[in-house]
Amino acid sequence: MRLPSAGMPRFLRSWAPHLTSLELRIFEDPFGILQEDISKLKPKFNKFSFPALTHLDIWPHSKSHYIHCFSECKELCQIAFHYFWSIDYDNEGSDVSDFMPADSLEGLSEFSEFITENDFPELRWIDLPVNPGVFPLDSTSSSILLSLDEFCKSKGIELLFPCYSSS
């Protein structure tokens, strides 16, 4: 179903008001042939209102930091943010792959801002699944993660970095 990105929060809210677990991955079109412009979604103004949502599994997108759409989901107890994960588009011998979305440091900063500037009283775990191929991290990413880790510790939130192999 084609759905204008700006209408997505309202559509999902009406479709599943008692949703407790959600994985959201907006396709990152490496070839630029999709017609929907995700950058039209204004995450700080288009909010998801899922009062029962406890588990959020989210994949970032290079043109929209839509994590901010979930700032009103106060019952979240676990968030998985697939920031350091490879997305391969190698379905026909192409060497196209996307290890981190464009403006990746901005995406990591936006996620950190989302966690530190919103109150999630039930949040206990943040998973940042990591493909071992991304190590060592650059100094800016490390700095952002150190600050986020300090904040999480002060709030009793575990910041986890489970390592998975893509093979």
Fold for domain 41-86+97-167?
Answer: Rossmann fold (3.40.50)
Sorted by where each begins, the domain ranges of the chain are: 41-86+97-167
Looking at residue 163, its pLDDT comes to 66
Looking at residue 52, its pLDDT comes to 93
Looking at residue 131, its pLDDT comes to 72
If we measure between CA atoms, which residue out of 91, 47, 97 comes closest to residue 71? 47
| Rounded-to-integer distance, Cα 86 and Cα 163, Å | 12
**pLDDT digit string, tens, across residues 91-124:** 444 444 444 444 457 788 999 999 999 999 999 9
3-state secondary structure of 23: strand
What are the C-alpha distances in Å from 58 to residues 35, 55, 84, 91?
A: 22, 10, 12, 23
If we measure between CA atoms, which residue out of 55, 153, 56, 69 comes closest to residue 114? 69
Supply the Cα-derived Rg of the chain in whole angstroms.
16
Which portions of the chain are predicted below pLDDT 70? 1-14, 28-39, 62, 85-104, 134-135, 163-167
Looking at residue 76, its pLDDT comes to 98
